[in-house]
Chain A
């Protein structure tokens, strides 16, 4: 069966790719490739600890005893799998622009390929779509054969309404465990950008690793509307409209847009939230390299 949001060419490339969270311990159910907060059986040595009653004698480091004449036990970093939540914004603004690949479609591709990488390395992937409410979700196990379920899930497209990040926040707080990884794939079309940043900060502080993928169409960056003077209508709320000479305000708009992106980047990065600016005009591989390599 041919799925819309997958390409063999990209998958071939992704086979070689490993996604690894740096400086972040996760809490998984199964052994995996990610560092666990717990110590246990593993090859990766963490530290020595003075022997206490009840410790396994096998763990005593005899070489240290020879030098110090005290019992020390070796502790190893336990490795576990990752539980990832991919939140895809399916609001009406994500279905912009018309006539070429929409932000939603581009986001679906991202969900598809990130899921593939994570599943490939034994991580658990959950896909949730939302606009002002949680529209639907897909919970998978860390098995590769679940990838086709994700593709089928994405195949069923949803054109949502206005975005409301409250539902995303509520869901994360209530249902997502600590030490999980959350991808937020959205266009961040909201004038309450300070509120969004605060919300994300709280999630991060809760102990969830957060990666924000800000998907933007090039026309949104440049305000390229193909008309000089026009009535600009809100995609999400058509009751809002302004009449303007696009050429006149283009430069000012671009400046404002840069400031908005800069605000998100600075605010989120300083709070250990990864922020990636995704330009839909670029090849998806290029964006995936950055996101999965976490450069």
Chain B
């Protein structure tokens, strides 16, 4: 049975006989000529005409057929591949993950897909042997219609009402779910299963998708057609790996690392836009290395704006990084002295590090701290004092917290992101008498200039020695009793152990946790607003009065943010927002979540590779942007014969040409 999608073209079918009419008209209007040897012409024609007539008839018929099939082709015929009594069960999987909220042609991908599905279903209302099951998926699967249902208005309304989510995508999980169902039902007679997936094929960790196949659904006896409807995006996806904003006096520096998608790492152009002041927009080429913008800004002015990785990519929304930097004066400073980890070389004794350290008697107990199990002093308040005699100078600086820890200079960038107000100072060899990089606090800088690291008793290079342990508190110990963190007044010394479990203590999350703990405990530093938040993150904010997006006029409150109670706000769209409360106005930057930013588009080939082990799985791809509903229509209902018709037309055209042009010579 054949179903025609564009029936209106069928009205042109009578045109198929046009060649016959033209042929007859052409014959009648030929010129009359007198001739003598007519009997010879007749003799020739008697031999030639029968063949010639056959060829003429064939040529005219071919012309008729060519027109006929062109009209048929234009009317989009769909041939049912199975008898009509067979039921086609169509799974429609709709991706509503966060990446589907990206806009194409002023509509989000999700809206585009919904519109597409609605149009498709409206066309399929006549298909009596079609049943549909709608499944919504992101990182989980939500079955919208528990059973297969016939296409009707109610189903269409259900699709219109589907909402997007802010969750990740798990395409594999969704398909696995459907395939499992198909396997269960594959023995049912007169049932054909087809899977139509509407997704942007965007996955966060592309590499993992290759290992999608599960053994449970690795084989099924019947052919299953699966089709992916996706917006074809050929450009690269770029994102910011790391962005830090810092200000020294009037000089602002925005450091960032831009990365392209995992596959392509190419040259990019970055643009800076600062919203609240005039500034020349600078373009800097980036090569996957740390790059920075530097510019002058008044010390009293706050900064907000964005950096854009300009790729002309439809995903460029992801490539915008918003920042807001509030200039505030720190009440207290924390000085971190970094002891370079050269001590690892050639030493295998833990005693090396605390060579002259006399260990205090302390009762330790195992406690959980920041999800790590550690031995902590039972009576936390009673610290054991140890002496670090030559550090007495620090005692005069009562408003400074000094932390000494073994670490790498490169780590400080990471720590500064989490720990505002900490100044990191690199401890160097005294013989080299190197100067230290200075922080932003003038008072502290003066102190550091005055401070001579030579006063710290460093017997060997990078060795810190505690001589009078009685004056030091042990805040934290390793499992064998070795002190991990020592404290004296405003000094904190993080020790190092070669213990198997704690060798890389500094690199463990607990290290950051401890730093945080120390700062919070001291309560000497004013809390500072973060430089940026993420979409979907709950932000604590007291007594919100109003929220306004900067640089956007058409604010639709319901789409862009949501206030939970009076104290929390969640943003759905990245950008700069001005939040007002009783204490004043605050500008905050909201960025796409780093995971979403690293979204990569899965290529067709990759999807095919993903499902390559399923032998009976026929995969097809349709570009949503092209809106070729007719093709999908054909794919759902049966065999798409349009290509066959095109081939047929070409063959007939060649035959017609050969017979009409070369036919005379052949005869």
Task: Determine whether the beta carbon of A233 is less than 8 Å from that of B47.
Answer: no
Contact B39 A232 (CB under 8 A): no
Residues A256 and B664 in contact, CB atoms below 8 Å apart: no
Q: Is A191 an interface residue (CB 8 A)?
A: yes
In the assembled complex, which residues on chain B have CB atoms less than 8 Å from the CB atom of A243?
27, 30
Q: Which of B26, B41, B52 contacts A232 (CB 8 A)?
A: B41
For A229, the chain B residues whose CB sits under 8 A away are 26, 30
Contact B27 A235 (CB under 8 A): no
Would you give the shortest CB distance from A119 to chain B, in whole angstroms?
A: 32
Give the number of chain A interface residues (Cβ < 8 Å): 36
A-contacting residues, B1-50, CB 8 Å:
26-27, 30-45, 47-48
Chain A residues whose C-beta falls within 8 Å of the C-beta of B38 in the assembled complex:
232-235, 240-242
**Interface residues in A176-221 (C-beta closer than 8 Å to B):** 187, 189-191, 217, 220
Inter-chain contact A256/B32, CB cutoff 8 Å = no
A243-B27, A252-B48 given; A189·B33 CB < 8 A: no
B35 touches A260 (CB 8 A): no
- Using CB atoms, name the residue of chain B closest to A188: B37
Whether B37 contacts A189 by the Cβ 8 Å rule is: yes
Closest chain B CB from A200 CB (angstroms): 19
Min CB distance, B41 to chain A, in Å? 6
Q: Which residues of A221-280 have CB atoms within 8 Å of chain B's CB atoms?
A: 223, 225-227, 229-236, 238, 240-245, 247-249, 252-253, 256-257, 260
CB atoms of A257 and B40 under 8 A apart: yes
* Partner pick for A257 among B26, B31, B32, B37, CB 8 A cutoff: B37
A93 at the interface (CB under 8 A from B): yes
Q: Which of B33, B37, B41, B45 has the most CB of A within 10 A?
A: B37
Q: Which residues of A contact B45 (CB under 8 A)?
A: 242, 244, 249
| Structural contact, A252 and B47, CB atoms closer than 8 A | yes
Known: A248-B52, A248-B664, A252-B48. A96 touches B41 (CB 8 A): no
Residues of A within 8 A of B47 (CB): 252
Residue of B nearest to A189 (CB): B36
CB-CB under 8 A from B30, the residues of chain A are 227, 229-231, 243
Q: Which of A93, A217, A226 has the most CB of B within 10 A?
A: A93
Contacts of B39 in A (CB 8 A): 189-191
Within 8 Å by CB of B48, from A220, A231, A247, A248, lies A248
Q: State A226–B1 Cα separation when bound (angstroms).
A: 53
Flag if A187 contacts B36 (CB, 8 Å).
Answer: yes
The answer to whether B43 touches A241 (Cβ under 8 A) is: no
A230 to B30, CA, bound (A): 5
Distance, CA A238 to CA B36, complexed state (A): 10
Interface residues on B, range: 20 to 34
A231-B30, A243-B30 known; A256 vs B35 contact (CB < 8 Å):
no
| A227 close to B31 (CB less than 8 A) | yes
- Contacts A232-B38, A240-B38 hold; do A256 and B33 have CB atoms under 8 A apart? no
Q: Is the CB of A242 within 8 A of B41?
A: yes
A244 adjacent to B34 (CB under 8 Å) = no
Given contacts A240-B38, A243-B27, A248-B52, contact A230 B33 (CB under 8 A): yes
Which residues does chain A contribute within 8 Å of B52, judged by CB atoms?
248
**In the complex the two chains form, is B35's CB within 8 Å of A235's CB?**
yes
Q: How far is the CA of A203 from the CA of B40 in the complex (A)?
A: 26
- Nearest CB of chain B from residue A261's CB, rounded to whole Å: 11
CB neighbors of A among B37-79 (8 A)? 37-45, 47-48, 52
Q: Cα distance A166–B640 when bound, in Å? A: 74
Contacts of A252 in B (CB 8 A): 44, 47-48
Within 8 A of B (CB), among A71-112: 93, 96, 98
Is B32 touching A235 in the complex (CB atoms < 8 A)?
no
Asked, given contacts A243-B30, A249-B48, whether A233 binds B41 with beta carbons under 8 Å apart, the answer is no
Q: Are A232 and B43 in contact (CB under 8 A)?
A: no
Report whether B33 and A235 are in contact in the complex, using a CB–CB cutoff of 8 Å. Answer: no
Residues of A near B37 (CB, < 8 A) are 189, 220, 257, 260
Identify the interface centre among A190, A225, A244: most chain B CB within 10 Å of its CB. Answer: A244
Q: What distance in Å separates the Cβ of B345 from its nearest Cβ neighbour in chain A? A: 99
A259 to chain B, nearest CB (A): 9
Chain A residues with CB under 8 A of B43 = 191, 256
Instruction: Tell whether, in the assembled complex, residue A260 and residue B40 are in contact, meaning their CB atoms are under 8 Å apart.
Output: yes
- Complex CA gap A291/B26 in Å reads 47
**Cα(A93)–Cα(B37), bound, Å:** 9
Closest to A93 in B: B36
A252 to B38, CA, bound (A): 14
What residues of B have a CB within 8 angstroms of the CB of A232 in the complex? 33-35, 38, 41
- The answer to whether B33 touches A233 (Cβ under 8 A) is yes
Alpha-carbon distance between A243 and B26 when the two chains are bound, in angstroms: 11
In the complex, what residues of B have CB within 8 A of residue A247's CB? 664
Q: B residues 382-412 with Cβ under 8 Å of A?
A: none
Q: CB-nearest residue of chain B relative to A247?
A: B664
Shortest B52–chain A CB gap in Å is: 7
Chain A's nearest CB lies how many Å from the CB of B24?
12
| Given A242-B45, A252-B47, residue A225 in contact with residue B33 (CB < 8 A) | yes
Give the distance to chain B from A107, nearest Cβ to Cβ, in Å.
14
Which chain B residues border A248 with CB–CB below 8 Å?
Answer: 48, 52, 664
**Across the interface, which residues of B come within 8 angstroms of A242, CB to CB?**
38, 41-42, 45
A231 to B45, CA, bound (A): 13
Considering the chains assembled together, what is the distance between the CA atoms of A72 and B26 in angstroms? Answer: 86
Q: Nearest Cβ distance between residue B294 and chain A, in whole angstroms? A: 84
Contact between chains at A249 and B44 (CB < 8 Å): yes
Residue of B39, B44, B664 with highest tally of chain A CB at under 10 A: B44
Q: How far is the CA of A260 from the CA of B41 in the complex (A)?
A: 12
CB pair B34–A223 under 8 Å, yes or no, is: no
A241 to B664, CA, bound (A): 22
CB atoms of A234 and B35 under 8 A apart:
yes
Cα of A257 to Cα of B36 in the assembled complex, Å: 12
Would you give the 0/1 interface string for A158-177, flagging 1 where the beta carbon is closer than 8 Å to chain B?
00000000000000000000
Q: When chains A and B are docked, how far (Å) is the Cα of A245 from the Cα of B31?
A: 11
Given A243-B27, A248-B52, A235 and B34 contact (CB-CB distance below 8 Å): yes
* Interchain CB contact under 8 A, B34 and A96: yes
Separation of A209 and B26 alpha carbons in the complex (Å): 53
Say how far B27's CB is from chain A's closest CB, in angstroms: 6
Can you name the residue of chain B whose Cβ is closest to the Cβ of A253?
Answer: B44
Q: Which chain B positions have C-beta within 8 A of A187?
A: 36
Interface pair B48/A96, CB less than 8 Å apart = no
Asked whether B36 lies within 8 Å of A220 as measured between CB atoms, the reply is yes
Bound form: Cα–Cα A241–B47 in Å: 17
A235 to B32, CA, bound (A): 11
CB <8 Å contact, A233 and B35: yes
- Chain B 313-347 against A: per-residue CB contact (8 Å), 1 yes, 0 no? 00000000000000000000000000000000000
Q: How far is the CB of B56 from chain A (nearest CB, A)?
A: 10
Flag if B40 contacts A241 (CB, 8 Å): no
Known: A220-B36, A252-B48. A230 touches B31 (CB 8 A): yes
Cβ of A192 to closest chain B Cβ, rounded Å? 9
Closest 7 CB pairs of A and B: A191-B39, A234-B38, A93-B36, A252-B44, A230-B31, A230-B33, A231-B32
Other contacts beyond A229-B30, A231-B32: 4, CB < 8 A? A93-B36, A230-B31, A234-B36, A245-B664
Provide a sorted-by-A list of 7 A–B residue pairs whose CB atoms are within 8 angstroms: A96-B35, A191-B43, A220-B35, A227-B31, A232-B38, A234-B36, A252-B44
Instruction: Report B's interface with A, CB cutoff 8 A.
Output: 26-27, 30-45, 47-48, 52, 664
Interface residues of A (CB under 8 A from B): 93, 96, 98, 187, 189-191, 217, 220, 223, 225-227, 229-236, 238, 240-245, 247-249, 252-253, 256-257, 260
